[in-house]
Amino acid sequence: LRLHADIDERGLEWLMRRQGLPVPPTAATGHRVGLLISKSGSGSLFAAAGENAATLAVEEINAEGGIDGRPLELLVGDDATDPATGALEAMRLVRAGCRTVFLMTTSATYVTVSAALRSSEVLLVQTLMNEGGGHDRLRIRLGERPHAQLATAAVPLMRAAGGRRWFLAGNDYIWPRSVNSAARAVLPTYGATLVGERYAPLGTVDFAPIIDAVVASGADIVLNTFVGADAAAFERQCHAMGLRERALSLAPALDESTLERVGSAAAPGIHGISGYFQHLDTAGNDSLVRRYRESFGPWAPPLSTLSECTFEAVHMWTAAARRARTTEPGPVADEMRTGQFDFPRGTVTLDGTDQVHQRMYLAAARGACFGPMQPAGNTG
């Protein structure tokens, strides 16, 4: 087997920055926007698909003439799944001319970046699922919310498990703790019993103590709020230690890219709950997946709610900029905050508050993908 690899200019710049080498700025030719993602660290499993999806959106927008006749330029930063690094990268994107930065990162990075750029007139758009809050005129958080995800999944999952005992396990930072706080409020209203709660730092490799605690609790369902590589490692160890024979898993942030790392043997029993899956059967999604494969090839990482959301966010921002007839952060944010948007996942509604309304789907892992999708009536 012979492997030939090329490093493009963006890849070379990334390598230089990771080595602490200066990267000379380039002159802008159009409207610059930033994308802050986790190219490295435990969140890196879904970063490539997210960058691809944003790149596809920019290409489509530029094929339509861009914004007021000028092209859209996408600059990418790597937070390394670390909030402090994320803040430095976000400031670099702003210095390069980005007045809007899309974040496909952990909530911990979002909070740190938001604080670091508080005195700057920069629009931050968190694209993927989050706990809500922390918004103002120049802070928009899209994606699924924990209360809606849990309300959608609770009853059918307890029916599938044949039990009502839940164990909460996740990484020790804002989003997992917020999801588990929502679980304590939502799940008992559906008759669930909470039997345990444990956390581990990002980058943990040995989850045996937590799995032992799950087994001892007699849980029927594990709410897995680990992310990226941690989520994959946790599920593999659950399978290896025999937990899958005792309990199902609900993993809101375990997407298709992460599921590939879990492996087919450990996948049965894992469930996802989100507004988008790659195998969602809609005409808009069929077209998106086809265009994605045509652009990035059959072996590109799969789309998921964590990556497809960047495609939606860039298109949403562009539609708002065209309506506002400017790319200034304030007017664009005002246009983005209210309205209905038709995307491959279906209709997404922003009502001017912190809430994002969309249909949720509960899906079971089948090898390296999720399916079939079970639509639910409530939106979040």
The 10s digit of each residue's pLDDT in 131-149 is: 998 778 999 999 999 999 9
Q: How far is CA 257 from CA 158, 193, 222, in A?
A: 26, 31, 20
Q: Tell me the average pLDDT across 359-374.
A: 86
Q: How many CA atoms lie within 13 A of 334 on its CB side?
A: 8
**Of the CATH numbers 3.30.230.70, 3.40.190.10, 1.10.3720.10, 3.40.50.2300, which one belongs to the domain with range 9-144+283-358?**
3.40.50.2300
- pLDDT (tens digit, 9 = 90+) per residue, 147-158? 999 999 999 999
Least confident of 169-178, 203-212, 370-379: 370-379
Number of C-beta neighbours around residue 226 at 10 A: 26
Element (H, E) at 52: helix 47-63
Q: Is the pLDDT of residue 301 over 50?
A: yes
Which part of the chain has CATH 3.40.50.2300?
Answer: 9-144+283-358, 146-278+361-379
3-class state of residue 271 by DSSP:
strand
CB of 223 closer than 8 Å to CB of 168: yes
Number of C-beta neighbours around residue 173 at 10 A: 19
> Torsion over CA of 77, 307, 301 and 318, rounded to 10 degrees?
-80
Tokens 């920019």 correspond to 58
| Separation between Cα atoms, residue 380 and residue 378, nearest integer Å | 7
Task: Using DSSP bridges, classify how beta strands 221-225 and 270-274 pair: parallel, antiparallel or unpaired.
Answer: unpaired
CATH topology of domain 146-278+361-379: Rossmann fold (3.40.50)
pLDDT of residue 134: 77
Prediction pTM value: 0.90
Task: Classify residue 21 by its DSSP letter.
Answer: -
Q: What is the DSSP string of 235-256?
A: HHHHHHTTGGGT-EEE-TT--H
Q: Is the pLDDT of residue 358 over 80?
A: yes
Q: Is the pLDDT of residue 213 over 50?
A: yes
